[in-house]
Amino acid sequence: MAIALLTILLVLVLTAIAPELARLRQFLWLRELLAWVDARLEAQAFWRSELGLVLVILPLVAVVAAIDRVLAGLLHGLLDFVFGFVVLFLCWGPRDLDADASHAARAGTVADRAEALSALGMNAGDSAVRSTELVDGVFHAGLARWFGPMFWFVVFGPAGAVLYRLAQLLAQSSELERLLSEAQRMGATRFHDALAWLPAQLMTLALALASDFDTVGKAWRSHHEAHGQGFLHLDLGFLSATARACVEVDDVEFVADDGSPIRDPAVEEARRLLWRVAIVWLAVLAIVVLAGWSS
């Protein structure tokens, strides 16, 4: 656990001081791999089903897990630490979330806000982007870029981070979507939501601790009651509901009168809350590490 915490901190530091290294986080090879497998198994019913993606995900995760296991016994685990750091860094992001959230907060025109929402990984659509959509985008980007990889790295090491990133790309990448059948797209979405559900729940708990516990709890319960969903339902909409409950959102079309950048207080508050959530997560990990050392 101590190694995982140190690795996460180093990834955060390197991401902040060397943002140009984000270009290394390229998964274009996954598109080529999917195209290669599809060309050879296109006629096979199993490949076109939602279970066909197992042929892609499982070998990649198994290779990472095998390398991790082998390196753990070399040089007192130093090589394994370096390997874990490299894997987590590549699975982080890929874009700088803090920069994208700051840009979203400063977007002063409809076009700028649509561009900011797209950078956060959300679909801007044809209408003007509202503050609520940007708040949603900040938190869902936080789940995909930070907390999903972080959680599964802590649980399963480098293989866990790779597993989450592959699932997220297959479920949300527009470039990969064109290579998948309808059944595969649905399967990838369900698999990603299953992996993202627990990190999203822990984000909500951390948000409650970092802001207003009662407000977050009411928003969480209201969302599930309004949609007739049980606690274990894989719908991640509760993350948006709790995030909106913690910020004052003026849900109107946001257009600057003179075209100058104007900081949207709701989106800026969402960015700050996301950092508080990250600090809560890191603090809990630190407490676990210290408890382990003292026992």
Output the pLDDT for position 62.
97
**pLDDT for 266:** 85
- In sequence order, which ranges of 42-130 are alpha helices (DSSP H)? 45-48, 54-71, 78-91, 97-106, 110-119
pLDDT of residue 250: 61
Residue 280 has pLDDT above 90, yes or no: yes
The H or E element containing residue 213 is helix 213-226
pLDDT in tens, 45-102: 788 888 888 888 999 999 999 999 999 988 888 999 999 999 999 999 898 999 999 8
Each residue of 196-215: pLDDT tens digit?
Answer: 999 999 999 999 999 989 99
DSSP state of 52: G
Q: Which residues span the domain enclosing 238?
A: 2-294
pLDDT at 49: 86
- Confidence class for position 247, pLDDT limits 50, 70, 90: confident
| pLDDT at 257 > cutoff 90 | no
**Phi, psi of 267, deg, nearest 5:** -70, -40
- The mean pLDDT value for 35-52 works out to 83
Q: What is the mean pLDDT of the chain?
A: 87
Nearest to 139 by CA among 210, 190, 87: 210
Distance CA 244, CA 251 (A): 11
Provide mean pLDDT across the span 182-198: 93
Does the structure show a pLDDT above 90 at 227?
no
The whole-angstrom separation of Cα 96 and Cα 181 is 31
Q: How far apart are CA 158 and CA 146, in angstroms?
A: 14
Name the burial class of residue 256, with classes exposed (0-12), middle (13-18) and buried (19+) by CB atoms within 10 angstroms of its CB.
middle
What is the total count of domains within the chain? 1
Q: Which two tokens stand for residue 239?
A: 């993350």
pLDDT tens per residue, range 147-157: 999 999 999 99
Which of the four pLDDT bands, split at 50, 70 and 90, describes residue 42?
confident
pLDDT for residue 231 is more than 80: no
Structure tokens at 85: 């750091």
Greater model confidence, 288 or 251 = 288
pLDDT tens track for 95-137: 899 999 988 888 777 788 888 888 888 876 655 678 888 899 9
Q: Specify the pLDDT at position 117.
A: 85
pLDDT of residue 295: 52
Q: What percent of the chain has pLDDT over 90?
A: 49
pTM above 0.95, yes or no: no
For the record, the structure tokens of 178 come out as: 């064109």
